[in-house]
Structure 1
């Protein structure tokens, strides 16, 4: 699930567009929460941290430096230091040329990444009831009331990546340098601010119910491994595993209720988890089914985040 938008603010707003904190927590809507264990939530947080680390590893140092040098040039011009501005633009141009020489087909150069988390603490049944209410409101033309209800129906992490558009940004930097050579400082500042306003933000959304469902299955498998196999499980461990697998199925139901996933893929995953519950209750070995479920989760996450 990938969307693109432009940040239309210039230099003053640019720092707000790229928060240095890895994760911003938005307001939660609370209705009859579905409980998850601390272990599961810790696993979800670990997956989130891993995601942000992987995305940060993909940032291009040259592009980040080119952006920094552009801002430095604007600051220099505000202080009427034309030579310092020209030097900064020369560095920026060199960094951009390095990127294009290395990968001529690259259209977007990532310079920053952040994660926003939105969550709704409720049950699948409550979500479905709210969806019915929203449908009634839209049928009656009460769109603003429906919009406020829809706004709370999100349980996700949104990975935002800021990118320099390489089809236009390098030319803008060169144009600003030429304008400075002609003594057109004010025009150069406008050119640079326009270039900054065309930074492209891409967003990839990862549903939290899907991560929680996977983490619940992982917790069930960890208990099984700890016991040394299904035949040596105590009644208490069986109950704990059943609780984790039941929570996984509830989270899949939540993902469907919120509109993140439905259809055959979700149904097959739910059926396999139900079969897993039956196998463990019957004392049957289930490693192959655990492996199959893990592959299905990976496939779903790959599809939902593209």
Structure 2
């Protein structure tokens, strides 16, 4: 296992307005709005920062403990019991060091992966796909519906693999007595079982919400600007519309309920009214930003 790994794998999912069956996706994705493309670098950076924040929790002792456990298992497979015992002793020492630092620690990360699923489709296209999936289910075509629905995600998934300190150290300590009794096969099974107890937790970051957040941040700067030009006014309007569209996409994809999103749409409408005629002001976005933050 690598000391720390972040695998950024963009998966582009495409749905066309004319054909929503998972087995007949179009060759070209529907284009993102100019506003969406403009904030993409910020979106990517925010996702990377979240993964990096998790990676910072990885300790060399935790990684070494896993490496030594794997080394012990390999040594047993090679018939090298003494080498296995040395590796188990090293793993135990690393785990004891971690617990000595923080006896209440439940999980200690050893690896972080990041995968991005980006959906290039409009709200109407997604709605059509959902309707098609429902029709397929009604017709008993469960697998066709499953394949179609599996495409309906727009998110970054940050997966963290951790050692469960409540069970893993004791499991490792229990191996040596088995080897002392000559029960090598039982020791192998116990080692593999210990490695299988590693805990994987996932943080899901909806991309439409993240894009909307960055769009609204840019819109807020413009809304506070006095004596905006016509170009500024148009840009502000476009940002608010694009942010609202991203929220609609997040809603139809199920990253919250209608009750969650209703006040967000309402707040954007109020901001549009306040900014009409080139008017400017501060604090207009406070309630909206707070409500959006709660959805993450």
Normalising by structure 1, we get a TM-score of: 0.84
SS at match of 1:141: coil
1:35 to 2:33 alignment:
yes
Give the equivalent residue in structure 1 for 2:51. 52
SS at match of 1:268: helix
Give the equivalent residue in structure 2 for 1:220. 219
Q: CA deviation at 1:284?
A: 3.2
SS at match of 1:233: coil
Give the equivalent residue in structure 2 for 1:178. 177
Check the 8 A contact 1:93/1:170 in 2, yes or no: yes
After the TM superposition, list the runs of 4 or more consecutive aligned residues in structure 1 that deviate by more than 4 angstroms. none
RMSD: 2.2
Give the equivalent residue in structure 2 for 1:244. 239
Check the 8 A contact 2:69/2:87 in 1, yes or no: yes
- Figure out how many residues of one structure are paired with residues of the other and give that number: 282
SS at match of 1:205: strand
CA shift digits 1:10-42 (9 cap, x unpaired):
xxxxx59x9834312224224334424433111
Change (3 A) 1:215 1:49: same
Give the equivalent residue in structure 2 for 1:232. 227
Mapped to 2, the partners of 1:88 and 1:36 lie a distance apart of 55
SS at match of 2:283: helix
User: Which blocks of at least 5 consecutive residues in structure 1 are unaligned?
Assistant: 1-14, 302-306
Check the 8 A contact 1:153/1:258 in 2, yes or no: yes
1:279 to 2:280 alignment:
no
Mapped to 1, the partners of 2:270 and 2:204 lie a distance apart of 29
Picking from 260, 282, 285, the partner of 1:290 is: 285
Give the equivalent residue in structure 2 for 1:8. none
Q: CA deviation at 1:87?
A: 1.8
Normalising by structure 2, we get a TM-score of: 0.87
Mapped to 1, the partners of 2:245 and 2:136 lie a distance apart of 27
CA shift digits 1:133-174 (9 cap, x unpaired):
211211221111111110110101111111112232112211
SS at match of 1:289: coil
Mapped to 1, the partners of 2:176 and 2:284 lie a distance apart of 62
Mapped to 1, the partners of 2:133 and 2:189 lie a distance apart of 45
Check the 8 A contact 1:39/1:219 in 2, yes or no: no
User: Which blocks of at least 5 consecutive residues in structure 2 are unaligned?
Assistant: 17-29
> 1:77-156 to 2 correspondence within 5 Å?
77-156=76-155
Give the equivalent residue in structure 2 for 1:206. 205
Mapped to 1, the partners of 2:269 and 2:64 lie a distance apart of 52
Change (3 A) 1:19 1:145: farther
SS at match of 2:87: helix
